[in-house]
Amino acid sequence: MLSSEKRSLVRFLVIYLTSTLLLFSLAAWIFYSATKHHLLGKQRDTLKYEAERITSTLRQLHQSNVAPLVYPSNTMIQSAIYDLNKKYIFGTFKVPVTLETQLDENKLYKLSKIEPYYLGAAYLLTARTIDYVPIKSLQKNILFFMLIAGIFFSVMGYFLGRLFVAPMRDSIRQMNHFIQDTTHELNTPISTILTNIEMIETFGKHEQNSAELKRIEIASKTLSRIYDDLTYLNLNHQYHRKMVLLDFSDLLTERLTYFTGMIEAKAITVISKIEEKMELEIDKNDAIRLIDNLLSNAIKYNRHQGTLTVLLQHHSFEVQDTGIGIAKKDLGTILQRFKRANKSEGGFGIGLDIVNQVVQSYGFDLQIDSTLHKGTKVRVIWKK
pLDDT tens-digit series, residues 264-323: 889 999 999 999 889 999 988 889 888 988 998 899 889 999 999 999 988 999 999 998
Residues 6+ apart with CB under 8 A from 35: 138
365-371 sheet: strands from edge to edge? 269-274, 307-312, 316-321, 375-381, 365-371
Instruction: Using alpha carbons, select from 318, 312, 278 the residue that is nearest to residue 294.
Output: 318
Are 58 and 72 contacting, i.e. CB atoms less than 8 angstroms apart?
yes
Distance, in Å, from the CA atom of 270 to the CA atom of 254, rounded to the nearest integer, reads 14
Are 15 and 151 contacting, i.e. CB atoms less than 8 angstroms apart?
no
Q: What is the pTM of this model?
A: 0.50
- Run of H or E residues at 352: helix 351-362
Are 51 and 112 contacting, i.e. CB atoms less than 8 angstroms apart?
yes
- Rounded to the nearest 10 degrees, what angle do helices 248-258 and 284-300 cross at? 40
Handedness of CA 331, 337, 342, 346 (dihedral sign): positive
- The proportion of the chain whose per-residue pLDDT surpasses 70, expressed as a percent, equals 81
Confidence at residue 80, expressed as pLDDT on a 0 to 100 scale? 92
Average the pLDDT over 322-348 and give the result.
Answer: 69
Residues 6+ apart with CB under 8 A from 244: 281, 282, 283, 284
Phi, psi of 126 (to 5 degrees): -115, 150
- The proportion of the chain whose per-residue pLDDT surpasses 90, expressed as a percent, equals 32
Mean pLDDT (the chain) is: 82
Average the pLDDT over 81-88 and give the result.
Answer: 90
Which pairing describes strands 269-274 and 307-312: parallel, antiparallel, or unpaired? parallel
Coil vs helix vs strand at 270: strand
Are 53 and 45 contacting, i.e. CB atoms less than 8 angstroms apart?
no
Q: Residue 198: is its pLDDT beyond 80?
A: no
Coil vs helix vs strand at 88: strand
Instruction: Using alpha carbons, select from 341, 345, 338 the residue that is nearest to residue 376.
Output: 341
Confidence at residue 51, expressed as pLDDT on a 0 to 100 scale? 92
Residues 6+ apart with CB under 8 A from 204: none
Distance, in Å, from the CA atom of 42 to the CA atom of 201, rounded to the nearest integer, reads 100
Distance, in Å, from the CA atom of 77 to the CA atom of 233, rounded to the nearest integer, reads 77
